[in-house]
Chain A
Amino acid sequence: MKVNGLLISFLITAVISGCSITAPQYSAAVTNAQSLRDSDIAEVRVGSFVPSGSAANNNTISLRGSSMTSPYGGSFSNYLAEAIKQELALAGKLKESADIEVSGVLLKNDIDVSGLSVGIGEIEARFIVKKNGISQYEAVKSVKTRFESSFVGAVAVPKGQQEYPNLVRTLVGELFQDPLFVKALKR
């Protein structure tokens, strides 16, 4: 019986954790939206976000043998662009034809669930604000998050998968709290 149980367990583990998985879609933070809405910024459009270097892990992030991909065109730099879009949209500040544009470069991007009890997320990006093509703001923002993980792969992989939007939300929150960034978005 125990051998059968183990076989079933290994089968489940193989089925669930050995395949390609997709990062959860981004979900904007209400606190960010309210802060943007109240800060009297202009309407903004989101330009291109591109990866730079292998540390950007733009196509896949490895989680114990599973490959996590982005739900936004298979690109994690697109994921970051989508995050900024969602935050601005939730605040009512996103406009395709706006003359102020936010763009960026994804520099680092990783979720590490190799630890037995703690996982680590790390992301870094350069953000650029231009108004009518003239640079108003440029800065690199970087954050690191720690989250509860597990020895068991079938727990650690979904935990790492779920951490990704939180990691990006933390980075975006860091950007929105920069008074120079907020100033650059004002008319």
Chain B
Amino acid sequence: MGDVMSKLFLFLLSALMLGGCAHPIMLSPDIAKIERSPDVAPIDKSVGYFMISGTRELQTTSSGGGGDMVSFYPYKDLETSFYKMLSNVFSKVSLLKSQNDNEAIDKYTVRLIVTPQISTSSSSSSLFTWPPTRFAVTLTCVFLDIHGKEIARKVVIGEGQAEFEEFKSDFSLSARRASLDAMKKMQELLLASQELRN
């Protein structure tokens, strides 16, 4: 009986210590690093952005190191950097409650509506530490006119890497680097887009 109890205790302890833990990380990059070159003019348009209902609360789980998983909220974590990136690209950016937020569309004279789509992947080369050493953020911007017609769709992939010596005080480092890379690439792509300037 004692042997059975010991095995049960060991099993429960192992399950608690080893199994099923998704370690939380954050994707938010340092927005001070998302700047526009003074040589490039912003697009002179008022845009409104919205997050599809429920996406801010969407929790994603993906691979970390040592067989462990990491979890995060991609839309919530990236919203401020997304707003900052758009503010660098367009002359005015406003938050809309939804695609049909006509009150805000009128108030801010919105001409373009944009919504982000985000997907991620992660992995680690480490067997002994859980933070991911490689992270990728695929960011898609879908642009609509105020009648809901899609007028442009832009996609970038941001990549980030971090090794143990770097991430030991910031477990989210590879993810935050990937997010920053995605925002910078998207900013460059949007500023170069002639169809958004027309």
Contacts and interface: CB of A to CB of B under 8 A. Distances in A.
Interface of A: 2, 5-6, 8-13, 15-16, 19-22, 24-25, 27-31, 33-34, 86, 90, 150-152, 154-155, 158-159, 161-162, 165
Contacts of A24: 26, 28, 170, 172
A154 B30 CA distance: 25
B129 A16 contact: yes
Given A16-B171, A21-B171, A27-B77, 4 more contacts: A25-B30, A90-B80, A151-B16, A152-B17
A31 B104 CA distance: 13
A152 B15 CA distance: 11
A109 B163 CA distance: 31
A33 B81 CA distance: 12
A22 B170 contact: yes
16 contacts: A2-B10, A9-B17, A16-B129, A21-B169, A24-B170, A25-B30, A27-B31, A30-B79, A86-B31, A90-B83, A90-B84, A90-B87, A150-B21, A152-B17, A152-B21, A158-B171
B95 A34 contact: yes
A82 to B, nearest CB: 10
Interface in B106-147: 128-131
A176 B192 CA distance: 36
A70 to B, nearest CB: 12
Q: When A and B form their complex, which 3 residue pairs have the shortest distance between CB atoms, in order from nearest? A: A9-B17, A27-B28, A30-B83
B16 A152 contact: yes
B14 interface: yes
A28 B172 contact: no
B80 to A, nearest CB: 5
Q: Is the interface of B mostly helix, strand, loop or mixed?
A: mixed
A11 B81 CA distance: 36
Given A24-B26, A28-B31, A5 B14 contact: yes
A18 B54 CA distance: 36
Contacts, number: 86
A19 B172 contact: no
Q: Is the interface of A mostly helix, strand, loop or mixed?
A: helix
Contacts of A155: 21-24
A151 B16 CA distance: 9
B42 interface: no
Nearest to A9: B17
B95 A30 contact: yes
B94 interface: yes
A33 B84 CA distance: 10
B52 to A, nearest CB: 16
B154 interface: no
Contacts of B131: 16
Contact of A22 (B28, B66, B169): B169
B197 interface: no
Contacts of A159: 24
A15 B128 contact: yes
A34 B94 contact: yes
B169 A12 contact: no
